[in-house]
Amino acid sequence: MTSNELFPSAIGLLDPKKVQKVFKASGDINILTPGFFRKGSESLEEASEAADERMIKYLSKIKKTTRILIINSGYGDIAVKIAEKYGCKIDCLNHFTGQNKFLQDRIKDTEIEPLITISKRDAEVMPFTRETFDYVISQSDFMYEMNKKQTFRELGRIMKPEARFVFTGILKNQFCPDSVLEKINTYTDSAEPETGANYRNFTQRADLEKVFIKKTPQILLTYFEKLAERVEQTDFAKQTSKAFQTEVSDRISVWSDAVEAGHLNYALCLFQKRNS
């Protein structure tokens, strides 16, 4: 990681200055990660909101005493929503300084500021004692954890018995060619998607068990289609530049081509700590 600080996104747009360009042109930074499209007619913003709602749905019994950990917490939308609605304690782990500052500035001097703790670090070694958390969540950016196997072991340590880990993200299919991964890795700083089978294998030494992995490739197809439409608008080029518009369009094409070829998938995954 360089001192310049990288920003993850579904299309691998890592330069913070470029992310700010997207924000300026679109008005919503959250369009850079896939949302949930129930009908296919939703806007990128509506789908992002639906993704938050779906994630919270699987945190079944949230109380003020509930402890929630968010891995790769990004700009903190879901942390803010949970804190405002339930008033519980939330810890955010994220190694991207720019995103952490965005969230810190957002909650500063608000009622929820004491509820949200933000730590700049990876999830491979977590600064928490055993059996601390009732729920752990990660939305879209779990792919950017470099050592997911070790992260799962840490999850098994810090989750309470029967605690849930729910995350969404891009998966690679079993026979995804190396050539496709090489193109993707150009944009992801050497992190890459895992297969659903690998995630299941990671649970073996983590004292976790799979509840489900729901694959929905159509979400990615719809997302990249709508994102391409947004980027190709004349106003997007005016707010940024024609060269930047072309660069982002090319990035989207790499991902959407891999999805259409059947090499990538999108999934909602739920794992649970064993009660032993």
Could you please report the per-residue DSSP string of 117-170?
Answer: EEE-S-SSS-S--TT-EEEEEEES-GGG-S-HHHHHHHHHHHEEEEEEEEEEEE
Domain boundaries, the chain: 16-273
- Give the DSSP H/E element, type plus range, for residue 51: helix 44-57
Report d(CA 91, CA 114) in Å as an integer. Answer: 11
Class (C level, CATH) for 16-273 = alpha beta
The closest alpha carbon to 77, from 132, 32, 42, belongs to 32
Q: What is the pLDDT of residues 49-95, one digit of tens each?
A: 898 898 899 998 899 999 999 998 888 889 999 999 999 999 999 88
Q: Are 141 and 189 in contact (CB under 8 A)?
A: no
- C-alpha distances (whole Å) from 182 to each of 129, 234, 256 are 38, 31, 15
Residue 2: predicted pLDDT? 35
CA 256 to chain centroid? 18
Residue 142: predicted pLDDT? 80
Residue 72, token pair as written in the block: 């790769």
Residue 5: predicted pLDDT? 42
Q: With a cut of 70, which residues of the chain have pLDDT below it?
A: 1-30, 187-191, 276
- C-alpha distances (whole Å) from 96 to each of 14, 16, 33, 125, 251 are 10, 10, 16, 16, 21
Residue 160: predicted pLDDT? 96
Query: DSSP secondary structure string, 192-242?
Result: ----HHHHHHHGGGTTEEEEEEEE-HHHHHHHHHHHHHHHTSHHHHHHS-H
Residue 159: predicted pLDDT? 96
Residue-wise over 157-166: b if at least 16 C-beta within 10 A, else e?
A: bbbeeebbbb
pTM of the predicted structure, to 2 decimals: 0.87
Report d(CA 166, CA 241) in Å as an integer. Answer: 38
HSE, side-chain direction, 13 A CA sphere, residue 89: 7
Residue 188: predicted pLDDT? 65
